[in-house]
Amino acid sequence: MEKLLCGVDLGGTKLSAGLVTLDGTVIDEICTYDHTQKDSDGIVMDIVTLVDSLLKKNALTENNLLGIGVGFAGHVRYKDGTTITSSNLVAGFKNYPFKANIQKHFDTVKVFVDNDANAQTYAEYKYGAGKGYDDMIFVTISTGIGAGIICNGKLLRGITGTAGEVGHTIIRPESDRKCGCGNYGCLMTQACGLFLADIAIDKIRSGIKSKLGVTIENAHEKINGVTVKMGLDDGDELSKAIVFESADSIAIALYNLFQLYNPPIIVLGGGLINWGSIYIDRIREKFHLLAKDMLNDQIKIEFTAIGKSAGIIGAASLPLEG
Ligand SMILES: [Zn+2]
Collapsed DSSP state (helix, strand, coil) of residue 215: coil
Ranges of residues in the chain with a pLDDT under 70 are 87-91
> What per-residue confidence (pLDDT) applies to 169?
96
- pLDDT at 90 (0 to 100): 62
Question: Would you state the pLDDT for residue 89?
Answer: 65
Please report the DSSP string for 277-288 in residue order.
Answer: HHHHHHHHHHHH
Q: What is the pLDDT of residue 109?
A: 97
What are the extents of the domains in the chain?
A: 4-125+309-321, 133-303
Q: What is the pLDDT of residue 122?
A: 96
What sign has the CA pseudo-torsion 104, 39, 31, 141? negative
| C-alpha–C-alpha distance, residues 66 and 112, integer Å | 11
The answer to whether the beta carbons of residues 136 and 148 sit under 8 Å apart is: no
User: Among residues of the chain, what percentage have pLDDT more than 70?
Assistant: 98
Class of domain 133-303: alpha beta
How far does residue 163's CA lie from ligand 1's centre (Å)? 14
Compute the distance from residue 23 Cα to the ligand 1 centre, in Å. 36
| pLDDT at residue 97 in the model | 97
Q: 4-125+309-321, what's its fold? A: Nucleotidyltransferase; domain 5 (3.30.420)
What is the Cα–Cα distance from 248 to 204, expressed in whole angstroms? 18
The CA 199 to ligand 1 mean position distance, Å, reads 16
Backbone dihedral region of 281: left (phi > 0), alpha (psi from -120 to 50 degrees) or beta?
alpha
Pick from 119, 34, 56: nearest CA to 316 = 119
Ligand 1 centre to CA of 95 (Å) is: 20
Distance from the alpha carbon of residue 171 to the mean position of ligand 1, in angstroms: 10
User: What's the whole-number average pLDDT of the chain?
Assistant: 94
pTM score: 0.93
Question: Residue 303: CB partners within 8 Å, gap ≥ 6?
Answer: 129, 267, 268, 269, 273, 280
Cα-to-centroid distance, 179 and ligand 1 (Å): 5
First to last CA, the chain: 22
* Residue 14 alpha carbon to ligand 1 centre in Å: 24
Question: Cα dist. 125→121, 136, 148, 282 in Å?
Answer: 6, 7, 10, 24
pLDDT at 164: 93
Q: What is the pLDDT of residue 304?
A: 96
Cα-to-centroid distance, 169 and ligand 1 (Å):
7
Same fold, 4-125+309-321 and 133-303: yes
